[in-house]
Amino acid sequence: MIALLQRVSQAQVDINSETVGRIDRGLAVLLGVQPEDTEAKADRLLQRLLAYRVFPDEQGRMNRSLTDIGGGLLLVPQFTLAADTRQGNRPGFSTAAPPELGRQLFQYFLREAEQRHAAVGAGQFGADMQVSLTNDGPVTFWLEV
């Protein structure tokens, strides 16, 4: 699984002009699923996301995690993260999970996140979403499990 996480001061996902997920300070996370991904990999990635130290402490160093600050977590399914971009001018998607596996693992990840963290919002798998955010820093990391 792939997570592109951004530290944000706010973020939201809209579908058909309706807000379906919104957070204030926290992490906006684009999730990509690959064919070999499993629930065990999703569990490991979620564990890392919740504990990843990207928020400043009193000295301004990145020593606090999402769990430490009690921030929001906005999860957005994004199959294009798994695209093959090694050649040509058009991405290939044979390296992304088939839609049913992608949907299943995104829903699993979301359920687990909601059980482990208080403030979780999400986009919708397969929907045409508009994602807006204010990247704080900017701070952006690519995590892969």
| Nearest one of 73, 76, 98, 96 to 85, comparing CA atoms | 96
| Secondary element (H or E) of residue 7 | strand 2-15
Is 106 annotated as catalytic? no
Catalytic residue among 79, 106, 109, 125: 79
Distance CA(4)–CA(1), nearest Å, equals 10
Is 78 annotated as catalytic? yes
Catalytic residue among 19, 47, 80, 130: 80
Catalytic residue among 12, 55, 78, 106: 78
Distance CA(129)–CA(110), nearest Å, equals 17
Question: Kind of pairing, strands 2-15 and 130-144?
Answer: antiparallel
pLDDT per position in the chain (145 positions), as tens?
999 999 999 999 999 999 999 999 999 999 999 999 999 999 999 999 999 999 999 999 999 999 999 999 999 999 999 998 999 999 999 899 999 999 999 999 999 999 999 999 999 999 999 999 999 999 999 999 9
Give the chain's domain count: 1
* Residue 18 token pair: 């309706």
Instruction: CATH number of the domain at 19, please.
Output: 3.50.80.10
| Domain coverage including residue 140 | 2-144
Kindly state the DSSP code that residue 92 receives in the 8-state scheme.
Answer: B
**Helix, strand, or coil (residue 75):** strand
